């Protein structure tokens, strides 16, 4: 039996859980299946237990009873929830963050605004390995404006090197778009260093914080960040497709103008004046009517997040991924896996990627045969995501133990044909 060779046995993980000061927070989430090991909170965060009642109240009292009158309350939610995320998770000031649209649309709006603000500069820098929607959005903007998009080559496991960025930062660069934590490797960039390098070159930086917000103590103001966007359905647990956030540094707001001139960005919106005249605050980056029910779900999700400082979440996250790396070293590397994340926890976010030639089959078999959910990312990555509000150390132990047993039992062979459009 392979388990006898393991130095970290399950009791060690159980002890780590017993000593975890955040262990009580797991009870704030709904769990349908206590046997399920969920290591995918970085794709979709779990359901906070309070969300159902809260949403029902919004439906019953807000929509049902209040009807259109409830917009008097709802009209500011995008900013109010944005301010909460800013204060607790992003290190930004009130009035610098709002909820709006999807991450894709927000990236489009802010990137376009930044490009329009630097008409003499013709180059965009991006990470060649960045999340697809970011690369595609920038391709579109470059294509439409005749600009040059330079994809920076990054190490598949270690992420973008700061020297690579510095070498590319010339006087023609208008905008740098980077993910603080890589969706593939989990590599974590140094935000302050990047911002400083870009500022010296006169370029703006637009950060995608999707895999960072809620697990990395982001310090947008302290690191002089210009612009940021991010998903709220990952570590912020806002639910599937909950509206994304956008951040624009206070003193930049009035200098930038986004291209989608919708009525939620209009000064005196309900005066419905003849000409578009954007507000002079963060609301100028809004467009249309926000999806209120999806936005409302952020309320109880932030109630949970605010139970712990992100620095404490980060501490636990580091210990969770360290455990994952250690178990992977012992159990999985001998079985054909390769670590595809930084080994240094200071350079890593809250997930660990493991490369394996059969990762796609393994991911499907983990779900269907071992009751473990993690993500597959083509062509060969298993992404082990840890959510410090929710994931226990025994979750990590059990998940990787089941993966090891799956490989030994060849449980990923002879799977039924995949039929889903979703990996």
Catalytic positions, written as ranges: 131, 208, 233-234, 383
Residue nearer to its own copies on the CB measure, 269 or 358: 269
Phi, psi of 283 (to 5 degrees): -65, -20
Q: Does 140 bind its own copies (CB under 8 A)?
A: yes
CB of 165 to its own copies, least distance (A): 20
Nearer to its own copies, 229 or 325 (CB): 229
Nearer to its own copies, 282 or 318 (CB): 282
* Site membership for its own copies, residue 136 (CB under 8 A): yes
Report the distance separating Cα 360 and Cα 19, nearest Å.
Answer: 35
38: nearest Cα among 412, 333, 392: 392
Q: Report the nearest approach of its own copies to the CB of residue 101 (Å).
A: 7
Min dist CB 295 to its own copies, Å, is 7
When asked if residue 390 is in the footprint of its own copies (CB under 8 A), the reply is no
Q: Is the Cβ of residue 104 or residue 221 nearer to its own copies in the bound state? A: 104
Stretch that binds its own copies, among 13-21, 83-91, 237-245, 322-330 (CB under 8 A): 237-245
Contact 192/198 with Cβ under 8 angstroms?
A: no
Region from 89-97, 171-179, 199-207, 257-265 binding its own copies, contact rule CB under 8 A: 257-265
Per-position DSSP letters for 360-402, written without gaps between them: HHHHHHHHHHH-EE-EEETTTEEEEE--TTT--HHHHHHHHHH
**Dihedral of CA 301/67/284/206: which sign?**
positive
Residue choice 4, 311, 414, 420 for contact with its own copies (CB under 8 A): 420
Q: Which of residues 338-377 bind its own copies (CB under 8 A)?
A: 367, 373, 375, 377
Q: Which CB, 197 or 384, lies closer to its own copies?
A: 384
Provide the strand spans (E) within 121-280.
Answer: 123-127, 148-152, 173-179, 204-208, 227-230, 245-248
The CB-of-36 to its own copies minimum distance in angstroms stands at: 8
- Strands 381-385 and 351-355, by their bridges, are antiparallel
> Residues 6 or more apart from 56 whose CB is under 8 A from it?
none
Of 25-33, 85-93, 200-208, 246-254, the window that binds its own copies (rule: CB under 8 A) is: 25-33
**How many residues would you count in the chain?**
423
Which of 122, 139, 190, 303 lies at the binding interface for its own copies (CB under 8 A)?
139
Of residues 259-318, which lie at the interface with its own copies (CB under 8 A)?
Answer: 259-264, 266, 269-276, 287-295, 297
Single residue of 244, 310, 339, 372 touching its own copies by CB under 8 A: 244
Q: Which of residues 91-110 bind its own copies (CB under 8 A)?
A: 101-105, 108
Please choose, out of 65-73, 156-164, 245-253, 394-402, the segment that lies near its own copies by the rule CB under 8 A: 65-73
Q: Which of 240, 309, 334, 357 binds its own copies (CB under 8 A)?
A: 240
Q: Which helix (H) or strand (E) holds 239?
A: none
For residue 325, give the nearest of 139, 164, 185 by alpha carbon.
185
**Would you give the end-to-end CA distance of the chain in angstroms?**
32
By CB under 8 A, is residue 135 in contact with its own copies?
yes
Give the whole-angstrom CA distance, residue 255 versus residue 246.
Answer: 16
CA-to-CA dists, residue 93 to 169, 221, 335, 340, 390, angstroms: 28, 8, 48, 35, 28
Q: Does residue 33 belong to the site contacting its own copies (CB under 8 A)?
A: yes
* Residue 380 lies near its own copies (rule: CB under 8 A): no
Question: Does residue 44 belong to the site contacting its own copies (CB under 8 A)?
Answer: yes
By beta-carbon proximity to its own copies, the closer residue of 169 and 231 is 231
Binding residue for its own copies, selected from 34, 132, 146, 416, defined by CB under 8 A:
132
CA–CA separation, 27 and 17 (whole Å): 13
Minimal distance, residue 183 CB to its own copies, in Å: 9
Residue from 68, 119, 146, 414 in contact with its own copies (CB under 8 A): 68
Tokens 């670590």 -> residue? 339
- What is each CA distance from 352 to 59, 83, 133, 325, in whole angstroms? 38, 30, 21, 7
CB of 346 to its own copies, least distance (A): 27
Residues with Cβ within 8 Å of 131's Cβ and at least 6 positions away in sequence, in order, are 179, 183, 208, 210
Residues 157-216 that bind its own copies (CB under 8 A): none
Total residues contacting its own copies by CB under 8 A comes to 88
Report the nearest approach of its own copies to the CB of residue 193 (Å).
27
| Helix, strand, coil percentages for the chain (3-state, nearest 5) | 45, 15, 40
Interatomic CA distance for residues 162 and 180, integer angstroms: 13
By beta-carbon proximity to its own copies, the closer residue of 15 and 64 is: 64
């Amino acid at each position: 039996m392979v388990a006898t060779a393991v130095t970290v046995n399950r009791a060690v993980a159980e002890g780590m859980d017993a000593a975890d000061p955040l262990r009580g927070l797991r009870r704030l989430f709904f769990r349908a299946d206590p046997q399920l090991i969920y290591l995918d909170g970085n794709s979709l965060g779990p359901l906070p237990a309070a969300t159902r009642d809260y949403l029902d109240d919004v439906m019953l009292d807000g929509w049902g009873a209040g009807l259109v009158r409830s917009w008097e309350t709802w009209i500011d939610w995008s900013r109010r929830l944005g301010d909460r995320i800013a204060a607790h998770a992003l290190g930004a000031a009130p009035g610098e963050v709002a909820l709006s649209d999807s991450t894709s649309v927000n990236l489009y709006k802010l990137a376009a605004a930044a490009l329009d603000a630097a008409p003499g500069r013709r180059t965009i820098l991006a990470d060649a390995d960045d999340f697809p929607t970011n690369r595609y959005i920038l391709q579109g903007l470059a294509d439409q404006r005749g600009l040059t998009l330079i994809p920076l080559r990054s190490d598949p496991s270690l992420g973008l090197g700061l020297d690579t960025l510095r070498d590319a930062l010339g006087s023609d660069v208008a905008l740098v778009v980077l993910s603080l934590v890589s969706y593939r490797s989990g590599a974590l960039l140094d935000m302050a260093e990047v911002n400083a390098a870009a500022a010296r070159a006169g370029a703006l930086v637009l950060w995608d914080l999707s895999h960072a917000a809620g697990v990395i103590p982001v310090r947008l103001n302290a690191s002089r960040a210009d612009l940021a966007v991010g998903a709220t359905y990952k570590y912020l647990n806002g639910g599937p497709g909950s509206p994304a956030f956008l951040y624009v540094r206070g003193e930049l707001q009035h200098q930038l103008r986004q291209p989608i001139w919708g009525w939620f960005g209009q000064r005196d919106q309900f005066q419905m004046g003849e000409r578009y005249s954007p507000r002079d605050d963060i609301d100028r980056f809004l467009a249309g009517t926000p999806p209120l029910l999806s936005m409302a779900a952020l309320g109880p999700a932030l109630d949970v997040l605010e139970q712990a400082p992100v620095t404490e979440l980060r501490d636990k996250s580091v210990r969770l991924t360290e455990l994952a790396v250690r178990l992977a070293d012992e159990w999985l590397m001998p079985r054909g896996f390769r670590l595809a994340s930084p080994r240094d926890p200071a350079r890593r976010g809250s997930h660990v990627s493991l490369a394996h030639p059969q990762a796609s089959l393994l991911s499907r078999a983990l779900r269907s045969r071992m009751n473990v959910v993690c993500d597959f990312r083509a062509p060969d990555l298993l992404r082990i995501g840890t959510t410090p509000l929710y994931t226990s150390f025994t979750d990590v132990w059990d998940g990787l133990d089941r993966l090891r047993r799956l490989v030994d039992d060849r449980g990923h062979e002879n799977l039924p044909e995949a039929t889903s459009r979703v990996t």
